[in-house]
């Protein structure tokens, strides 16, 4: 692939081919392995093995140097997503020590047209595995996992004005409350109590 | 633009690929009368010229054959000791063929694992911290260029001393490695590379470099 980059444009394939092949792999694994927890593990392992090899391709193509800082690494990971999956996740939620961040994407080519089964399967578990494997080869030991997606999606505000609008604040509060209790299976009293605790003690809503 | 050989050393220091591209064959055959005016010695399982350089037979050359029969170790094909043949007057005139010894695979593996600590030593000895290690090593008859990737694989080419642009060639070999070796599902990491596609595309690359230089890589 990389050989053509300097002369012709990079060899492009339709993303549907990848989506379908990956879907076939996952569904076959679900058939052969009983527990979806084990499928997640296997997918992570496949991703790891891919990342270990893929990192060489990335380095050979982009001629990027060694990262000396986590933000630089995040940048490179973003670049790799653009290169290999043609999507750009946003980097958010930096920890104050600067050694932890989240990658947020809303639609991944791997999971296009997929109706997720509700058995705890992490469909794209191959991606964290690939990131872990690739970074391990450049002497960075990282942990990579899916955090629960927010229950009610707060769209990214364009202006700070909208960001502080009452509806946004309400959605954020609901998301926060849903971490403590199951929103759809609780009595009104329980909800009121949980919401009250959140709003009065965290003070950000 | 002569490239003598390509070597790839894995992260752990083992030779995973070697290829002799264009090593000139140096051989000289000559008929000698008694007594032999060349001093021979048996060392490293070879019969080596130690003194008496003449007619294209240089010090360091190895005895390849006696009267047309190949020498292996210190015996000829029919099992006679080379030194017994040379010392007996009745065997003369004697036709001896000398040539440069070619490194065997085992010797190359030893040399590759010797380069590994040298590389590390160079980066330790550096007066400036965070040094990269040996990138090029020049002698009067060859230049060795080394490129270490971020993942620790070393690509080494041995070329003519006035070769230009060996970094570009090394980068291209890296691309070939990441394409044809690593994307081959039957290749396991850190193991010797035996991928035919990699071999053929490497040959093509080296031929392009020899014909038209590194300008249009």
The burial of B117, by beta-carbon neighbours within 10 Å (0-12 exposed, 13-18 middle, 19 or more buried), is given as exposed
Mean pLDDT for A152-172 is: 65
pLDDT, greater one: A173 or A54: A54
Q: How far is CA B38 from the centre of its chain?
A: 26
Return the pLDDT at A8: 37
Taking CA–CA distances from A133, the nearest residue in chain B reads B151
Instruction: Provide, as residue numbers in chain B, all residues whose Cβ is less than 8 Å from the Cβ of A56.
Output: 149, 151, 153, 174, 177-178, 182
User: ipTM score of the complex?
Assistant: 0.76
Q: What angle do CA A156, A158, A161 make, to 5 degrees?
A: 105
Q: Does A65 touch chain B (CB under 8 A)?
A: yes
Checking if the pLDDT of A2 tops 50, the result is: no
Return the pLDDT at A7: 42
Could you tell me the pLDDT band of residue A1, with boundaries at 50, 70 and 90?
very low
Return the pLDDT at A161: 61
Residues above pLDDT 90, as percent of chain A: 31
Mean pLDDT for B158-177 is: 91
What is the length of chain B? 217
Secondary structure percentages of chain A, helix, strand, coil, to 5? 55, 5, 40
Q: According to the 3-state scheme, what is the secondary structure of A117-159?
A: CCCCCCCCCHHHHHHHHHHHHCCCCCCCCCCCCCCCCCCCCCC
Closest in B182, B201, B217 to A56, CB measured: B182
Instruction: Provide, as residue numbers in chain A, all residues whose Cβ is less than 8 Å from the Cβ of B174.
Output: 56, 59-60
Are residues B174 and B149 in contact, defined by beta-carbon separation less than 8 angstroms? yes
Residue with tokens 């249009």: B216
Q: Does A80 touch chain B (CB under 8 A)?
A: no
Please write the tens of the pLDDT for every residue from B42-101: 988 888 888 888 888 888 888 888 888 888 888 888 888 888 888 888 888 888 888 888
Checking if the pLDDT of A137 tops 70, the result is: yes
Are the beta carbons of A59 and B149 separated by less than 8 Å?
yes
Q: Does A156 touch chain B (CB under 8 A)?
A: no
Are the beta carbons of A53 and B175 separated by less than 8 Å?
no
CA distance B132 to B199: 28
Return the pLDDT at A145: 85
Mean pLDDT for B172-201 is: 90
Mean pLDDT for B161-190 is: 89
Closest CA to B139 of B162, B164, B110, B156: B162
Instruction: Provide, as residue numbers in chain B, all residues whose Cβ is less than 8 Å from the Cβ of A138.
Output: 150-151
Could you tell me the pLDDT band of residue A152, with boundaries at 50, 70 and 90?
low
What is the distance in angstroms between the Cα of B192 and the nearest Cα belonging to chain A? Answer: 15
Instruction: Provide, as residue numbers in chain B, all residues whose Cβ is less than 8 Å from the Cβ of A65.
Output: 150
Checking if the pLDDT of B135 tops 90, the result is: yes
Instruction: Provide, as residue numbers in chain A, all residues whose Cβ is less than 8 Å from the Cβ of B151.
Output: 55-56, 59, 137-138
Q: Which residues contact A53 (CB under 8 A, 6 or more apart)?
A: B178, B182, B183, B189
CA distance B64 to B76: 9
Return the pLDDT at B15: 93
Write down the pTM of the prediction: 0.77
Q: What angle do CA A101, A195, A118 make, to 5 degrees?
A: 60
Instruction: Provide, as residue numbers in chain B, all residues whose Cβ is less than 8 Å from the Cβ of A3.
Output: 175-176, 179, 201
Q: How far is CA B40 from CA B28, B46, B52, B58, in A?
A: 15, 10, 9, 12
Checking if the pLDDT of A32 tops 70, the result is: yes
Average pLDDT in chain A: 81
Return the pLDDT at A162: 62
Residues above pLDDT 70, as percent of chain A: 84
Are the beta carbons of A57 and B179 separated by less than 8 Å?
yes
Q: How far is CA B22 from CA A186, B33, B112, B203, in A?
A: 78, 35, 19, 11
Are the beta carbons of A59 and B150 separated by less than 8 Å?
yes
Return the pLDDT at B82: 87
Are residues B162 and B145 in contact, defined by beta-carbon separation less than 8 angstroms? no
Residues above pLDDT 70, as percent of chain B: 100
Of A5-19, A32-46, B79-93, the least confident: A5-19
Q: Which two tokens stand for residue A116?
A: 């997720």
Please write the tens of the pLDDT for every residue from A56-99: 999 998 888 888 889 999 999 999 999 888 888 888 888 888 88
Return the pLDDT at A149: 60
Strand-pair category, A102-104 with B46-51 = unpaired
Taking CA–CA distances from B132, the nearest residue in chain A reads A66
Mean pLDDT for B152-169 is: 92
Q: Does A68 touch chain B (CB under 8 A)?
A: no
Return the pLDDT at A77: 93
Q: Does A60 touch chain B (CB under 8 A)?
A: yes
Return the pLDDT at A54: 92
Measured CB to CB, residues of chain B less than 8 Å from chain A are: 149-151, 153, 171, 174-179, 182-183, 189, 201, 217
Mean pLDDT for B151-162 is: 92
Q: Which two tokens stand for residue A125?
A: 């578990």
């Amino acid at each position: 692939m990389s050989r053509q980059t300097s002369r012709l444009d990079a060899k492009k394939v339709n993303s549907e081919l990848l989506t379908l092949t990956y879907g076939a792999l996952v569904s076959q694994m679900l058939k052969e392995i009983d527990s979806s927890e084990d499928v997640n593990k296997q997918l992570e392992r496949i991703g790891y093995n891919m990342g270990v090899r893929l990192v060489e391709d990335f380095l050979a193509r982009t001629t990027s140097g060694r990262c000396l800082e986590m933000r630089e690494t995040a940048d490179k990971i973003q670049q790799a997503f653009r290169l290999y999956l043609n999507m750009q996740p946003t980097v958010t939620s930096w920890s104050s020590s600067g050694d932890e961040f989240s990658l947020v994407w809303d639609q991944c080519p791997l999971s296009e047209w997929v109706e997720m089964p509700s058995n705890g399967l992490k469909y794209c578990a191959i991606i964290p595995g690939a990131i872990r494997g690739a970074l391990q080869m450049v002497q960075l030991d990282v942990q990579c996992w899916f955090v629960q997606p927010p229950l009610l999606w707060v769209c990214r505000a364009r202006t700070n004005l909208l960001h502080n609008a009452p509806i946004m604040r309400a959605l954020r509060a609901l998301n926060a409350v849903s971490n403590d209790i199951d929103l759809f299976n609780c009595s009104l009293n329980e909800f009121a109590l949980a919401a009250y605790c959140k709003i009065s003690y965290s003070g950000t809503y | 633009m002569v490239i003598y050989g390509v070597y790839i050393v894995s992260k752990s220091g083992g030779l995973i690929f070697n290829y002799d591209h264009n090593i000139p064959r140096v051989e000289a055959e000559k008929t000698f009368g008694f007594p032999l005016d060349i001093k021979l010695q048996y060392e490293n399982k070879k019969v080596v010229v130690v003194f008496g350089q003449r007619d294209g037979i240089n010090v360091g050359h190895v005895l390849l054959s006696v009267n047309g029969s190949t020498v292996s170790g210190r015996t000829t094909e029919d099992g006679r000791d080379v030194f017994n043949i040379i010392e007996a007057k009745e065997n003369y005139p004697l036709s001896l063929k000398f040539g440069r010894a070619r490194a065997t695979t085992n010797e190359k593996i030893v040399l590759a694992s010797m380069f590994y600590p040298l590389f590390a030593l160079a980066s330790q000895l550096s007066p400036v911290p965070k040094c990269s290690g040996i990138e090029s090593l020049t002698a009067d008859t060859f230049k060795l260029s080394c490129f270490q990737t971020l993942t620790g694989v070393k690509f080494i080419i041995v070329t003519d001393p006035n070769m230009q642009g060996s970094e570009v060639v090394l980068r291209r070999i890296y691309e070939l490695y990441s394409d044809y070796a690593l994307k081959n599902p039957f290749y396991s990491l850190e193991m010797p590379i035996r991928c035919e596609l990699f071999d053929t595309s490497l040959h093509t690359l080296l031929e392009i470099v020899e014909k038209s230089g590194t300008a249009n890589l």
